[in-house]
């Protein structure tokens, strides 16, 4: 345990940073959908949205969460190939998700749950929850191949 003390501390700070972003999201980011989706939204129209501001803030939040996630992956795995793959996937997923978000926001206004979940993947570091076990099992396979 003592061998990994600095890694544990640094990983804890990254996780704490992600939690603080989530806790102070209303202060840090413009997102009228935070309060909209917090209440009963199924029969309500979309809130008033300043689109450029919303898209910019979604991009900033996704970028910050992705950066912290990549830092955490680096602390845990120390594998440059994993980091390259994660970076590529984060960029690809953002392009796909923001495109879907814009399409659903403008053309599928009756698909509120789809918009809710697309936005959830943009604003929360959910991909990290997939990458950690995926990279762990990949690392284990690499170790088996070497022996």
Cβ(123)–Cβ(62) under 8 Å?
yes
Residue 31 DSSP class: -
> What pLDDT, on the 0 to 100 scale, is given for residue 108?
87
Q: What is the pLDDT along the chain (147 residues), one digit of tens a residue?
A: 677 888 999 999 999 999 999 999 999 999 998 888 877 776 677 888 899 999 999 999 999 999 999 999 999 999 999 999 999 999 999 999 999 999 999 998 778 889 899 999 999 999 999 999 999 999 988 888 887
Cβ(36)–Cβ(47) under 8 Å?
yes
Contacts of 90 (CB under 8 A, 6+ apart): 62, 66, 69, 70, 127
Domains in the chain: how many in total?
Answer: 1
Q: Is the pTM of this model over 0.85?
A: yes
**Structure token pair of residue 85:** 């793959």
Q: How far apart are the first and last CA of the chain?
A: 25
> What pLDDT, on the 0 to 100 scale, is given for residue 82?
95
- Nearest CA to 82 out of 122, 125, 141, 4 is that of 141
> What pLDDT, on the 0 to 100 scale, is given for residue 1?
65
- Nearest CA to 97 out of 74, 127, 69, 139 is that of 127
In terms of residue numbers, what domain contains 59? 2-146
């Amino acid at each position: 345990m003592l061998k990994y003390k600095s890694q544990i501390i640094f990983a804890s700070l990254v996780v704490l940073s992600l939690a603080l972003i989530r806790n102070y999201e209303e202060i840090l980011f413009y997102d009228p959908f935070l309060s909209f989706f917090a209440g009963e939204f199924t029969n309500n129209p979309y809130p008033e949205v300043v689109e450029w501001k919303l898209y910019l803030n979604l991009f900033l939040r996704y970028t910050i969460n992705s950066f912290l996630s990549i830092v955490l992956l680096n602390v845990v795995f120390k594998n440059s190939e994993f980091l390259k793959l994660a970076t590529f996937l984060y960029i690809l997923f953002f392009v796909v998700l923001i495109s879907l978000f814009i399409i659903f926001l403008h053309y599928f206004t009756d698909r509120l749950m789809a918009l809710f979940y697309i936005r959830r993947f943009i604003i929360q570091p959910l991909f990290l929850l997939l990458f950690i076990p995926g990279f762990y099992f990949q690392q284990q396979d690499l170790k088996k191949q070497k022996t």
